[in-house]
Amino acid sequence: MDRSELLAKIDDSRKSFFALLDRLTAEQMLSTTLPNGWTIKDMLAHLAAWENRAAYLYEMLATGKEPQGESDFNAFNARVYSECKDLGLEFVLEDEKKAFARLRGVAATAPEEALFNPAHFAWTQGDAFEKIIGYNTYGHYEEHFEDVRRAVGGQ
């Protein structure tokens, strides 16, 4: 994969995912419950947290610093849910857009070596950083797509 393919994959998957979400009203985003018990709003806060986490990881690694924070995904998800469940929908929507822009900015501007060389950052243990970006964009949208599609139903 190269940068243009990475950006296309990110953008195409986001467009598809958000086209589905755009079929929901604000009320539905706050009241539709997904199989894990979250609302659509909660899932968007979850996406934002992971997008911000991935951007943070790159920023730390690019400056030679060791990233801090939880390594347990379930604990991270539980903390994000607890911190964000009472936030307003407009705030969460705006926060997710900013988080996405931050991570997409990494994909668009980071040196090719830092994105695509699996050995560039020892912390990634042999994975190219573009995989972390993928897990937290197109991979994450795919992970939640079916649940959202079922929630949207016949909309």
Residue 47 falls inside a structural domain: yes
**How high is the pLDDT of residue 7?**
98
Q: For residue 11, is it within any domain?
A: no
pLDDT in tens, 75-124: 999 999 999 999 999 999 999 999 999 999 999 999 999 999 999 999 99
The answer to the question of residue 71 being in a domain is yes
CATH code of residue 99: 1.20.120.450
The answer to whether residue 118 is domain-embedded is: yes
What Cα–Cα distance (Å) separates residue 102 from each residue in 9, 52, 105?
16, 7, 5
Residue 113: which domain range?
26-145
Position 20 in a domain = no
Does residue 60 lie within any of the structural domains? yes
Residues 121-132: what's their mean pLDDT?
Answer: 97
Dist CA 131 CA 117 (whole Å): 11
Q: Is 44 within a domain?
A: yes
pLDDT in tens, 39-70: 999 999 999 999 999 999 999 999 999 999 87
Q: Based on the structure, what is the number of domains in the chain? A: 1
- Examine residue 16 and state whether it is found in any structural domain, yes or no: no
pTM of the predicted structure, to 2 decimals:
0.94
Helices (H), 3-137: 3-21, 26-31, 40-62, 73-84, 89-109, 112-116, 129-135
